[in-house]
Structures are given as C-alpha cells and as structure tokens.
C-alpha cells in the first residue's frame, strides 16, 4: 500500500491508505508515518476551522442511525467527509458521512454523522484519524455514541446505557508503532477512560427526564459478522454487558490526546443467544429511529453541562 492517500479520500477501499505501521515498513518509515499522521490531522483541522467561525470544545461521534441529532444544530455548516483532507469515508448503512459544526443552545459543537470501522477495511489509524483531527481543532471533550447488543437480559431494546469501561477484543490498538509526543504520552492511563464526572452529569439528566441510565462494560469486536451465542457466553463470563464493533479505538486515541470521553450505547438488539431470534441490521436502525427523541433530548441537556465543566 502507498504511504500516502489522496487528500479527498479514495473510492477504492483497497487502495492508498495512510500506510500500515508494521515491522516490514522499517523504523524510519514508521517514524515518518507517525509524523505524517500528525501533519495530516493538522491540515484537516485547519480546513474544517476555515469553514466556520465556531470553535467547538465538544465533539460528538454519532453511531448507527443516531446521526439525526446533528440536523438540529443551529447555524450549521455541513462538510461531507470526502471534502475534508485525508478524512476516511463512511460506507456502513446508517452512517451519513458528514461533519457538522453548529450550536446546541449556546454551545458550539462538532459532530460526525457516522464513523468508519475496521470491518470496512480501514486501518485502526484511519478509524481514529477523526479523533486526531478533533484534538488539533482544540476539542477537549468527545461524546461517543453507538448501537450495541445487550448481553445482560435487563438491557432491553431501546435502553440508553452509559459506558463505564471497555474490553478491547478487536486485535488492534491505534497507539501501536512509534509514538508522536505531540499527540500524547507513550503509555496513557486508561483507568478512568470514561469520565466519571460526565457519566454523573448524564445520569442526573436522565433522572431529570424521568428515566434512568444504567452503566455497562462495552466489549468491542472487529465484525462485521455478529457474534455467535458461544462468543456471547464468553463475553458475559469476562464481564461484558454490551457488545459492538466500534468506539474503543476512538476512546484510546482520545485519551492519548488528552480528550475527556463520555460513551453512550443505544441497545438496539439482544446479543446472539440471549433470545432465540436472528440478528438483522435493519432492525438495529429501526430501534435507533424509535429512541431518537429520547436520545436527542438527553444530548441537548448534557452538552451545556459538559461545556460548563470544561470552563
């Protein structure tokens, strides 16, 4: 693969990428690739900021079927991913592929309508590139949302769950390879990867709205096949409450960059074997659409409080 991809993205997912950071590349090539990643993120951030006078300190990644929230931003500027230098393009159903900058109330925000995943053929570095761009934009907090399978029976369809911790079973980590000190420390602490204060804010706003938000541990697998019942039994045994195919690489990159994280899962289906029913992605999107109002109301309440926490 080429060590450089075109600025406008590529239609060929098997084509040019950032370049794999593996032992075959040689130490000099690896170091150059790490430096190039920082420079590319800086260039992308400068382009995005040139399109709006807003300077958001909060960013959101809106997962499967959850992107409608960004359509409600005031004074919004919408940038398709393919217009942003080096930005990866979403190919998954339910991911619109736009970066939206606007306001929620008086709070400037940037939101991704959809993300990219390892299962689309992207490297872990490309999956986390948007987080690197957010860091170069001056973002201090990110709200990561996803559609997840409920491993616990009480996590029924439509429940919103605060992610308290994660288990990375994707076989990939965005920090592998030479570390660029401009991005963060070589060995970032992950003890409180999901910000306790942000979780308390979200839980309090859920109660204020007349509901509750349980907390859960999210297990990330590579996908795109759904998990087998045996795999779900294994995940339950090792302490997972939720399962999905995203989010964890973004959390690692965010914490490496010093960005605080709030993670919210929308339980769109019971995990394999929990109930005797096959898993279908269209049903995932249907459930996300059903809880859209509750989800948007929660974010509208949480974002101003997080903004106040950052001051």
Q: Is 281 a catalytic residue?
A: yes
How far is Cα of residue 143 from the mean position of the Cα atoms in its chain? 8
Q: Give which of 150, 167, 186 is closest to 268, Cα–Cα.
A: 150
- Residue 167's Cβ-count burial label (10 Å; 0-12, 13-18, 19+) is middle
- The three-class DSSP label of residue 218 is strand
**Largest Cα–Cα separation, the chain:** 57
The predicted pLDDT at position 7 comes to 40
Q: Do the Cβ atoms of 59 and 134 come closer than 8 Å?
A: yes
Q: Is 230 a catalytic residue?
A: no
Q: Do the Cβ atoms of 305 and 201 come closer than 8 Å?
A: yes
Q: Is 154 a catalytic residue?
A: no
Which candidate in 119, 215, 234, 289 is catalytic? Answer: 119
All residues at 6 or more sequence positions from 225 whose CB lies less than 8 Å from its CB, including other chains: none
Which candidate in 44, 92, 213, 245 is catalytic? Answer: 245
Which candidate in 33, 59, 120, 307 is catalytic? Answer: 120
Q: Is 245 a catalytic residue?
A: yes
Q: Is 120 a catalytic residue?
A: yes
Q: Is 95 a catalytic residue?
A: yes
pTM: predicted TM-score of the whole model, two decimal places: 0.87
Q: Do the Cβ atoms of 251 and 265 come closer than 8 Å?
A: no
The predicted pLDDT at position 24 comes to 38
CATH class of this structure's domain 23-310 = alpha beta
What's the CA dihedral at 182, 185, 189, 190 to 10 degrees? 50
Q: Is 59 a catalytic residue?
A: no
Per-position pLDDT tens, the chain of length 311:
333 333 444 333 333 344 334 333 444 544 556 668 999 999 999 999 999 999 999 999 998 677 889 999 999 999 999 999 999 998 877 678 999 999 999 999 999 998 999 999 999 999 999 999 999 999 999 999 998 999 998 998 889 999 999 999 999 999 999 999 999 999 999 999 999 999 999 999 999 999 999 999 999 999 999 999 999 999 999 999 999 999 999 999 999 999 999 999 999 887 765 666 666 667 767 777 788 889 999 999 999 999 999 98
Which candidate in 70, 110, 117, 140 is catalytic? Answer: 117
Q: Give which of 253, 252, 254, 235 is closest to 244, Cα–Cα.
A: 235
Both structure tokens of 160? 């919103």
Q: Is 269 a catalytic residue?
A: yes
- Residue 121's Cβ-count burial label (10 Å; 0-12, 13-18, 19+) is middle
The predicted pLDDT at position 90 comes to 86
């Amino acid at each position: 693969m080429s060590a450089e991809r075109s600025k406008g993205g590529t239609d060929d997912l098997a084509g040019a990428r950032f370049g794999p950071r593996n032992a075959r590349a040689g130490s000099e090539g690896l170091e150059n690739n790490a430096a190039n990643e920082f420079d590319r993120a800086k260039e992308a951030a400068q382009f995005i900021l040139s399109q709006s006078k807003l300077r958001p300190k909060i960013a959101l990644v809106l997962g499967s079927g959850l992107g409608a929230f960004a359509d409600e931003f005031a004074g919004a500027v919408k940038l398709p991913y393919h217009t942003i230098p080096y930005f990866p393009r979403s190919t998954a159903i339910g991911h619109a592929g736009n970066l939206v900058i606007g306001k929620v109330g008086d709070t400037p925000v940037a939101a991704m309508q959809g993300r990219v995943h390892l299962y689309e053929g992207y490297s872990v570095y490309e999956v986390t590139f948007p987080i690197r761009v957010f860091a170069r934009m001056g973002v201090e907090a990110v709200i990561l949302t996803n559609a997840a399978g409920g491993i616990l029976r009480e996590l029924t369809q439509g429940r919103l769950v605060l992610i308290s911790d994660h288990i990375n079973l994707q076989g990939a980590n965005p920090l592998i390879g030479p570390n660029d000190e401009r991005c963060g420390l070589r060995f970032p602490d992950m003890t409180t990867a999901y910000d306790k204060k942000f979780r308390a804010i979200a839980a309090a706003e859920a109660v204020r709205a007349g509901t509750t938000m349980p907390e859960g541990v999210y297990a990330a697998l590579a996908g795109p096949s759904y998990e087998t019942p045996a795999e779900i039994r294994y995940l339950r045994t090792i302490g997972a409450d939720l399962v999905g195919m995203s989010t964890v690489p973004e959390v690692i990159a965010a914490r490496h960059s010093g960005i605080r994280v709030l993670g919210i899962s929308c339980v769109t289906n019971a995990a394999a074997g929990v109930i005797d029913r096959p898993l279908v992605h269209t049903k995932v999107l249907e459930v996300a659409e059903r809880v859209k109002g509750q989800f948007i109301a929660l974010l509208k309440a949480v974002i101003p409080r997080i903004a106040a926490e950052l001051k």
